[in-house]
Amino acid sequence: MAIKSSIYKAQLSVTDMDRHVYDAFPLTIACHPSETEARMMLRIVAFAMHADPQLVFGRGISTDNEPDLWQRSLSNDIELWIDLGTPDESRIRKASGRAKQVIVYVYGDRSVAVWWTKNEATLKRFNNVRVVQISDESMQALAALASSNMSLQSMIEDGQLALSSTEHEALIEVEMTTLKA
Residue 130 near residue 104 (C-beta atoms within 8 A): yes
CA 1, 86, 42, 76 torsion-angle sign: negative
Paired residues of 173 in beta bridges? 162
- Maximum CA extent, the chain: 47
For position 47, what pLDDT does the model report?
Answer: 97
Q: Where are the beta strands (DSSP E) in 112-159?
A: 129-134, 149-157
As a whole number of angstroms, the distance between CA 76 and CA 119 comes to: 30
Determine how many CB atoms are found less than 10 A away from the CB of residue 161: 21
Q: What are the structural domain ranges in the chain?
A: 6-180
| Contact of 161 with 155, CB cutoff 8 Å | yes
Distance of alpha carbon 65 from alpha carbon 97, whole angstroms: 13
Which residues are paired to 23 by β-bridges? 14
- pLDDT class of 84 with cuts at 50, 70, 90: very high
The pTM score is 0.92
Across the range 130-148, mean pLDDT stands at: 91
For residue range 152-164, what is the model confidence (pLDDT) as tens digits?
999 998 888 999 9
Give me the CATH code for the 6-180 domain, please.
3.10.640.10
